[in-house]
Amino acid sequence: MGHTQGLSVPWSALADLIRLRNQTGSFLLLFPALWALVLAGDGHPPLSITVIFVLGVFVMRSAGVTFNDLWDRDLDRQVRRTRERPLASGRLHPRIALGVFAVLILLAAGLVAMLNPLTIALAAIALPLLVLYTLAKRVTHFPQAVLGIAFGWGALMAWSAVRNETGWPAIGIFLATVFWAIGYDTIYALQDKEDDVRIGVRSTAVFFGQWAWLAVLVVLAMTVVILTLVGLAMNLALPFYLALMLASALFGHQAWRIKRGVSPSLAFTLFKQHVWIGAVILAGIWCGLIFR
């Protein structure tokens, strides 16, 4: 549907605003939280807490992309991949998007209110992180690191929701998520590298240039190293390390493909593969707990 008329609501534009048809980002936010929930719950995390986090991930990711599109609508008009987004193209009025953002934040607050006080306190930091990511690309070449901190924060919250404390395993998953996000979001940023250079948007893809493949390889290797340390601390069984070996092979293959040169479409394909990598690691954690 096009512009609003009277009291009509442009449902198609709203769906595009929150990326309803593309949930890759939601899964990438969800998996670290699930890693933490499964580990903290020794393979059997409380169902109620798990449902809260699944719903919370969808709500917060929707809020994040809404805020991002509100702030970036002028930049989005200058990038081929994003110029048709609802706010950039004029299909949706900013006031409607602002209302959507407010509703989503209220929903997220309602979900968090069902958790323990420590998790509520940690959640208070999540919203500023969401805002900082959107602003980071204007002041630093490493907005991907800010994204990683925001996504990893969900893992800290998940651990604290189950155990009412934060310890090394939770911090380890947080750090692993930071490096993982830098890796896959650098790949994602390769789609817009030429446009970003032209309009002055900063990213790790722009900063590392021809060495982006090496940067991706290093940060993804750090992800595996840190998760290995988490596995050792939790005394996980062999299946977990087999899952990490499979993830390592996929990481290495991706770096090799990037070194050869990737088109925007291939970069997006490589980015989406990280959903499956997150699922492999989750399966490895669960099996590592069951068979230890």
For residue range 66-86, list pLDDT tens digits in order. Answer: 999 999 898 889 888 899 999
| Residue 4 counted as domain residue | no
What 8-state DSSP symbol labels residue 3? S
164: left (phi over 0), alpha (psi -120 to 50) or beta: left
166: left (phi over 0), alpha (psi -120 to 50) or beta: beta
pLDDT in tens, 161-184: 999 999 899 999 999 999 999 999
Q: How many domains does the chain have?
A: 1
| Residue 108 counted as domain residue | yes
For residue 16, the domain's CATH number is: 1.10.357.140
Cβ atoms of residues 53 and 161 within 8 Å: yes
4: left (phi over 0), alpha (psi -120 to 50) or beta: beta
Instruction: Report the alpha-carbon distance of residue 116 to residue 225 in Å, rounded.
Output: 31
The pLDDT assigned to 7 comes to 44
Dihedral (Cα; 42, 46, 52, 58), 10-degree rounding: 40
- At position 12, the amino acid (one-letter code) is S
| Residue 2 counted as domain residue | no
The pLDDT assigned to 131 comes to 83
Instruction: Report the alpha-carbon distance of residue 11 to residue 3 in Å, rounded.
Output: 10
Helix, strand, or coil here: 93?
coil
Give the residue numbers spanning the domain of 286.
11-290
pLDDT in tens, 91-144: 999 999 999 999 999 999 999 999 999 999 999 998 898 888 888 888 888 999
Cβ atoms of residues 37 and 158 within 8 Å: yes
Span of 228-232, 248-252, 260-264 with lowest mean pLDDT: 260-264
| Residue 6 counted as domain residue | no
| Residue 52 counted as domain residue | yes
| Residue 5 counted as domain residue | no
Close Cβ partners of 46 (under 8 Å, ≥ 6 residues apart):
162
| Residue 102 counted as domain residue | yes
Instruction: Report the alpha-carbon distance of residue 72 to residue 69 in Å, rounded.
Output: 5
| Residue 3 counted as domain residue | no
